[in-house]
C-alpha cells in the first residue's frame, strides 16, 4: 500500500467520522445552544427516526422521502415532549438532565415492547457503487458489474487496491448541507431572527412581543427533527434496535460541549473537525475503544483549556483583538 | 459529669440537626419501631432474606448519591461506576487472599479504599479544573460506560487476569465459585455471612443503621453545613474563605467510599460481578431514580426511596410483565419530577411535620385557655 492510498483511506475515515459527529450532534447543539437544556433523550429521537425510516422503506417509500418522514416524525415527538414535560425544566440544568434521562428510558423500553429487540436490517443505498483506489487501477468509481469483473473468484480485490462505499460520502454532503441550511435559517429568516433574540436575552425578547415559549417549542421540534433525519440516515448503515440511539447521545453531548454555546454553528464545526480527527487517528493507531477514549480525553483537555468551549474561545479572542 | 452530659447532648443534637429530616420523640419512636420490625421481619413477618438483601445493599448506594447530589449539589449520572469498581476489587482481592487468610478483611477494606482513591484522582482533576456541574454529571456516566466497554473485552484470561482472578469479559469475574462471602474473624473463629441467608440480612441491616446514624452526624456537623452552603451558593461560600473545590472533592470521596461499600456487599451477596449489571446505563439510571423519587435532599428519604422502589421493581418483574417494569420506573421518575420535584418522602415528611406542628400548637393553645 503506498502513501497516497493510505492518505486517501485516512481522509475517507476522517470524513466518515466527521459526518457521523455532525449528524448526531446538530440537533442537540441547537437545543443546548438555544435553551441550555441537555436532552438525554436525543438518541431516542434518533431511534424514532430510524424506525420511521425502516417502516417507510419497507412499505415502498423511496429512501430520501423516508428520511424526510423520519425528520417529521421525530420533530412531532420532540414538540410533544417539550410541551408536556421539558418546558417545566428550563433553567434547571441538572433536573432537565435527569428528567430527559427518564424520558429516554421510557421511550426505548416502550419501543422494545412494541417492536421487539431488533428490526430487519435495511440495505445501504448505492451499496453496489464502489470507489476504488491504489494498485494498478489508480482511481476508479465502479458499479456492480465492473466491480465483479475486477475481483477474483473468492471476492478479493487485486493487491494494493482498497474499496470504499459511496453512501458515507453522501452522508457527509448531507451533513454539510444541513449545517448550511441551519445557518441560513438562523441568519436570514424571521424565525431565525426571533430565535436568536430569544437566545440572547429571553426576557427582553418577550418584552418586545416575541412569543418565546412558542420559539422554544419550535426550536425543540427543529432539533428533534434533525435528530430524526440523522437517525434515518444511520438506520441505513447499522442494525436498528431500541437502544440504537444511546451510543450516539454520549458522542453528541461531547461534541456539543466542546463546541460551546457562544456560537453553536462555529462551535459545532470546530468541535467535529477536532474530535473527528482525534478519533480517526487513535482508531487507526490502536483500536476503536482507544479511539473513543482518545476522543473523550481530547474533549476533557479542550474543556480544561477553554472552559466555554471552542466557540467561546473564538469569541474571547475576537473580543481581545478589538 | 456535666462535661460528659454536654457531650452526649452534642451527639444527640448532631443526630437531630437541621440538615436531616425527623427529630423529636415521634420520629425516633417510629424509627425504633421500624428498626425493630426490620429485625423481626424475616422470622416473624415472613419476609424472605434472599429477596430483601438486595434492597438493603441498594440503600447504601442511594445514601451515597444523596449526600453527593442532594447535599453537595454535585449530580453524578455514573455513581454505579464506584459501585462496580468496589465490586470488582472485592472479588479480585477476595479470590486471591482467601487461601492465605480465610477471611475477607482485606477484600472488604480494598473494596472501599480503591473506589475512594479512584474518586480522589478523578475528583481532583474535575473539581480543580472547576468543571461545570452538567459536565461532571455526564463525564461520570461516560467513565462508567468506558469501564463497561473495557470489562466486556477482557474475555481472554491470558491477558486479563489478576493473580487467580480472571476478569472474564461479559461473563463477569471468574472463577465465580471462588468469590467469597463476607467473612470476618481468624482461623476457627470466623463469622461468614452468606448472601442468601438470614445472617447476611442481620449483618447488612446493622451496618446500614450504623452508617445511617453516622451520616446523620456528618451531615449535621459543620462539614454538612458547608456542603449545603456550597450547594446553595458556591461563590458566596468561597468568599467566606472556604476552598469549595476541596470540600467538593471530600464529599465526592465519601460518596465513592459508600458506593464501593455497596459494591463489595453486592459482590459478596451473589458471589458474582458482571460488567453490564454494575457499569451499564440501567445500573446508573436506577440509582438516580431512587434518589430523585425518594427525595435527594434528605438522607432518610433517599434510603426509603431505594428500598420501596426496589421492592416495587421486584414485584413488577416477578408479576408477569417484566418488560413494563422499566417503563413504570421511568414514568414514576418523570411524574415525581413534575408534581413533587423535591421527592415523595420529603413531600410526605413535610406534610406530616406540618400536621404534627399544627396539632401540637393546637394542643398547647387549648392548655393555655
Domain final residue, candidates A165, A188, A218: A165
Task: Indicate if A198 and A159 belong to the same structural domain.
Answer: no
**Gap between the Cα atoms of A28 and A37, Å rounded:** 9
∠ CA B317-B320-B327, rounded to 5°: 50
Domain that holds residue A157: 130-165
Signed CA dihedral, B141, B145, B148, B154: sign only: negative
Residue B368: what pLDDT?
47
Residue B134 to residue A307, Cβ atoms within 8 A: no
**Gap between the Cα atoms of B227 and B176, Å rounded:** 40
Residue B119: what pLDDT?
95
**Phi–psi pair at A138, nearest 5 degrees:** 85, -95
By Cβ distance, the residue of A106, A113, A307 closest to B330 is A106
Closest CA to A244 of A264, A224, A230: A230
Q: Euclidean distance between the first and final Cα of chain B, in Å? A: 40
Question: Other C-beta atoms within 10 Å of A272: how many?
Answer: 27
Partner B contacted by A99 (CB < 8 A): yes
**Alpha-helical runs (H) found in chain B:** 2-16, 24-44, 49-65, 80-101, 105-128, 133-152, 198-220, 222-232, 234-239, 244-270, 275-279, 281-294, 299-318, 325-339, 344-368
Beta strands at A130-134 and A138-142: parallel, antiparallel or unpaired: antiparallel
Task: Indicate if A153 and A173 belong to the same structural domain.
Answer: no
Task: Indicate if A287 and A140 belong to the same structural domain.
Answer: no
| Residue A318 within a domain | no
Determine what percent of chain A is predicted with pLDDT higher than 70.
91
Reported residue count of chain B is: 369
Interface test with A, best of B129, B330, B335 (most A CBs within 10 A): B330
What is the model's pTM?
0.87
Q: Per residue in B190-226, pLDDT tens?
A: 777 877 788 889 999 999 999 999 999 999 888 999 9
Domain final residue, candidates A143, A165, A187: A165
Residue B281 to residue A246, Cβ atoms within 8 A: yes
Taking contacts as CB-CB distances below 8 angstroms, the residues of chain A near B77 are 97, 101
DSSP conformation class of A127: T
DSSP conformation class of B178: G
Q: Per residue in A146-198, pLDDT tens?
A: 767 767 666 666 666 667 778 888 889 999 999 999 999 988 999 888 988 88
Task: Indicate if A153 and A171 belong to the same structural domain.
Answer: no
Question: How far out from the chain centre does Cα A62 lie?
Answer: 22
**Exposed e or buried b for every residue in B290-327, given b needs 16+ CB within 10 A?**
bbbbbbbbbbbbbbbbbbbbbeebeebeeeeeeebbbb
Residue B369: what pLDDT?
42
Q: Per residue in A195-214, pLDDT tens?
A: 888 888 888 988 998 888 89
Q: How confident is the model at residue A52 (pLDDT cuts 50, 70, 90)?
A: very high
Look at residue B82 and tell me whether its pLDDT is greater than 90: yes
Taking contacts as CB-CB distances below 8 angstroms, the residues of chain A near B327 are 105-106, 109-110, 113
Residue B12: what pLDDT?
72
Question: Other C-beta atoms within 10 Å of A155: how many?
Answer: 7
Q: Per residue in B225-273, pLDDT tens?
A: 999 999 999 999 999 999 999 999 999 999 999 999 999 999 988 888 8
Partner B contacted by A289 (CB < 8 A): yes
Integer CA distances (angstroms), B58 to A57, A128, B86, B308, in order: 45, 53, 14, 11
Task: Indicate if A92 and A229 belong to the same structural domain.
Answer: yes
Domain final residue, candidates A165, A190, A222: A165
Look at residue B95 and tell me whether its pLDDT is greater than 80: yes
Taking contacts as CB-CB distances below 8 angstroms, the residues of chain B near A293 are 146
DSSP conformation class of B132: -
∠ CA B201-B207-B209, rounded to 5°: 100
Residue A124: what pLDDT?
76
Q: How confident is the model at residue A136 (pLDDT cuts 50, 70, 90)?
A: low
Report how many domains make up chain A. Answer: 2
Question: How far out from the chain centre does Cα A143 lie?
Answer: 29
Partner A contacted by B337 (CB < 8 A): yes
Look at residue B81 and tell me whether its pLDDT is greater than 90: yes
Lowest-confidence pick of A144-148, B60-64, B134-138, B322-326: A144-148
Residue B256: what pLDDT?
96
| Residue A319 within a domain | no
DSSP conformation class of B176: G
Taking contacts as CB-CB distances below 8 angstroms, the residues of chain A near B145 are 250
**Which chain A residue has the Cα nearest residue B281?**
A246
Partner A contacted by B281 (CB < 8 A): yes
On the CB side of A276, how many CA atoms lie within 13 Å of its CA? Answer: 25
**How many residue pairs from chains A and B have C-beta atoms closer than 8 A?**
87
Task: Indicate if A252 and A274 belong to the same structural domain.
Answer: yes
Q: Which H or E run includes A212? A: helix A212-235
Average pLDDT over residues B18-30: 81
Look at residue B351 and tell me whether its pLDDT is greater than 60: yes
Could you tell me which residues are beta bridge partners of residue B182?
Answer: B193
Task: Indicate if A10 and A26 belong to the same structural domain.
Answer: yes
Q: How confident is the model at residue A50 (pLDDT cuts 50, 70, 90)?
A: very high
Nearest-neighbour CA in chain A from B44: distance (Å): 38
Task: Indicate if A146 and A177 belong to the same structural domain.
Answer: no
Gyration radius (Cα) of chain B, Å: 21
Look at residue B359 and tell me whether its pLDDT is greater than 70: no
Task: Indicate if A255 and A266 belong to the same structural domain.
Answer: yes
Beta strands at B182-186 and A130-134: parallel, antiparallel or unpaired: unpaired
Partner B contacted by A303 (CB < 8 A): yes
By Cβ distance, the residue of B134, B323, B326 closest to A93 is B134
Q: What is the CATH number of the domain that holds A37?
A: 1.10.3470
Task: Indicate if A150 and A205 belong to the same structural domain.
Answer: no
**Which chain A residue has the Cα nearest residue B141?**
A250
Task: Indicate if A74 and A103 belong to the same structural domain.
Answer: yes
CB B182 within 8 A of CB B108: yes
Task: Indicate if A144 and A252 belong to the same structural domain.
Answer: no
Closest CA to B155 of B173, B128, B132, B176: B173
Look at residue A74 and tell me whether its pLDDT is greater than 60: yes
Amino acid at each position: 500500500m503506498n502513501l497516497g492510498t493510505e492518505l486517501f483511506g485516512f481522509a475517507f475515515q476522517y470524513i466518515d467520522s466527521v459526518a457521523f459527529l455532525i449528524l448526531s450532534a446538530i440537533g442537540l447543539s441547537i437545543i443546548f445552544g438555544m435553551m441550555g437544556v441537555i436532552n438525554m433523550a436525543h438518541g431516542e429521537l434518533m431511534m424514532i427516526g430510524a424506525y420511521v425510516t425502516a417502516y417507510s422503506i419497507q412499505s415502498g417509500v423511496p429512501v430520501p422521502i423516508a428520511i424526510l418522514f423520519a425528520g417529521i416524525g421525530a420533530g412531532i415527538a420532540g414538540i410533544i415532549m417539550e410541551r408536556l414535560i421539558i418546558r417545566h425544566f428550563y433553567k434547571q440544568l441538572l433536573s432537565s438532565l435527569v428528567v430527559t434521562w427518564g424520558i429516554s428510558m421510557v421511550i426505548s423500553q416502550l419501543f422494545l415492547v412494541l417492536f421487539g429487540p431488533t428490526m430487519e436490517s435495511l440495505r445501504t443505498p448505492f451499496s453496489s457503487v464502489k470507489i476504488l483506489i491504489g494498485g494498478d487501477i489508480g482511481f476508479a468509481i465502479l458499479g456492480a458489474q465492473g466491480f465483479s469483473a475486477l475481483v477474483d473468484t473468492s471476492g478479493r480485490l487485486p493487491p494494493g487496491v482498497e474499496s470504499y462505499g459511496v453512501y458515507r460520502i453522501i452522508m457527509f454532503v448531507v451533513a454539510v448541507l444541513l449545517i448550511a441550511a441551519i445557518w441560513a435559517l438562523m441568519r436570514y429568516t424571521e424565525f431565525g431572527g426571533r430565535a436568536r433574540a430569544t437566545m440572547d436575552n429571553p426576557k427582553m425578547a418577550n418584552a418586545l412581543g416575541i412569543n418565546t415559549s412558542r420559539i422554544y417549542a419550535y426550536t425543540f421540534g427543529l432539533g428533534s427533527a434533525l435528530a430524526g433525519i440523522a437517525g434515518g440516515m444511520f438506520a441505513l448503515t447499522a442494525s436498528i434496535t431500541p437502544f440504537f440511539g444511546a451510543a450516539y447521545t454520549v458522542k453528541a453531548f461531547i461534541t456539543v460541549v466542546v463546541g460551546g454555546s457562544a456560537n453553536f454553528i462555529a462551535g459545532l464545526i470546530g468541535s467535529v473537525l477536532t474530535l473527528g480527527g482525534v478519533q480517526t487517528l487513535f482508531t487507526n493507531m490502536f483500536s476503536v475503544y482507544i479511539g473513543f477514549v482518545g476522543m473523550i480525553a481530547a474533549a476533557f483537555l479542550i474543556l480544561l483549556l477553554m472552559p466555554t468551549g471552542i466557540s467561546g474561545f473564538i469569541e474571547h479572542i475576537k473580543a481581545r483583538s478589538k | 459529669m456535666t462535661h460528659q452530659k454536654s457531650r452526649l447532648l452534642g451527639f444527640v443534637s448532631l443526630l437531630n440537626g437541621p440538615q436531616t429530616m425527623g427529630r423529636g420523640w415521634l420520629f425516633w419512636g417510629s424509627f425504633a419501631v421500624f428498626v425493630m420490625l426490620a429485625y423481626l421481619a424475616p422470622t416473624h413477618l415472613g419476609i424472605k432474606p434472599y429477596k430483601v438483601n438486595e434492597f438493603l445493599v441498594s440503600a447504601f448506594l442511594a445514601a451515597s448519591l444523596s449526600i453527593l447530589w442532594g447535599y453537595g449539589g454535585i449530580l453524578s449520572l455514573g455513581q454505579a461506576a464506584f459501585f462496580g469498581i468496589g465490586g470488582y476489587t472485592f472479588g479480585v482481592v477476595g479470590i486471591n487472599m482467601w487461601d492465605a487468610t480465610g477471611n475477607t478483611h482485606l477484600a472488604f477494606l480494598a473494596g472501599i479504599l480503591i473506589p475512594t482513591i479512584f474518586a480522589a484522582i478523578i475528583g481532583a482533576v474535575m473539581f480543580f479544573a472547576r468543571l461545570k456541574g452538567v459536565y461532571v454529571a455526564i463525564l461520570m456516566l461516560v467513565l462508567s460506560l468506558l469501564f463497561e466497554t473495557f470489562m466486556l473485552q477482557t474475555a481472554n484470561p491470558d491477558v486479563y487476569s489478576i493473580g487467580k482472578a480472571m476478569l472474564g469479559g461479559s461473563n463477569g469475574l471468574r472463577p465465580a465459585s471462588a468469590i467469597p462471602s463476607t467473612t470476618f474473624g481468624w482461623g476457627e473463629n470466623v463469622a461468614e455471612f452468606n448472601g442468601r441467608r438470614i445472617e447476611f440480612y442481620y449483618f447488612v441491616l446493622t451496618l446500614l443503621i450504623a452508617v445511617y446514624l453516622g451520616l446523620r452526624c456528618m451531615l449535621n456537623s459543620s462539614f454538612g453545613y458547608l456542603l449545603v452552603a456550597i450547594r446553595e451558593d458556591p461563590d458566596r461560600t468561597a468568599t467566606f474563605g472556604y476552598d469549595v473545590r476541596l470540600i467538593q472533592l471530600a464529599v465526592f470521596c465519601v460518596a465513592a467510599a459508600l458506593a464501593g461499600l455497596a459494591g463489595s456487599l453486592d459482590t459478596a451477596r451473589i458471589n458474582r460481578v458482571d460488567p453490564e449489571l454494575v457499569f451499564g446505563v440501567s445500573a446508573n439510571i436506577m440509582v438516580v431514580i431512587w434518589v430523585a423519587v425518594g427525595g435527594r435532599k434528605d438522607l432518610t428519604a433517599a434510603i426509603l426511596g431505594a428500598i420501596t422502589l426496589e421492592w416495587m421493581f421486584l414485584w413488577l418483574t416477578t408479576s408477569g410483565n417484566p418488560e413494563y417494569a422499566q417503563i413504570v420506573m421511568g414514568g414514576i421518575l418523570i411524574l415525581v419530577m413534575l408534581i413533587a420535584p423535591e421527592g415523595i418522602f420529603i413531600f410526605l415528611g413535610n406534610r406530616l411535620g406540618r400536621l404534627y406542628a399544627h396539632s401540637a400548637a393546637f394542643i398547647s393553645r387549648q392548655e393555655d385557655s
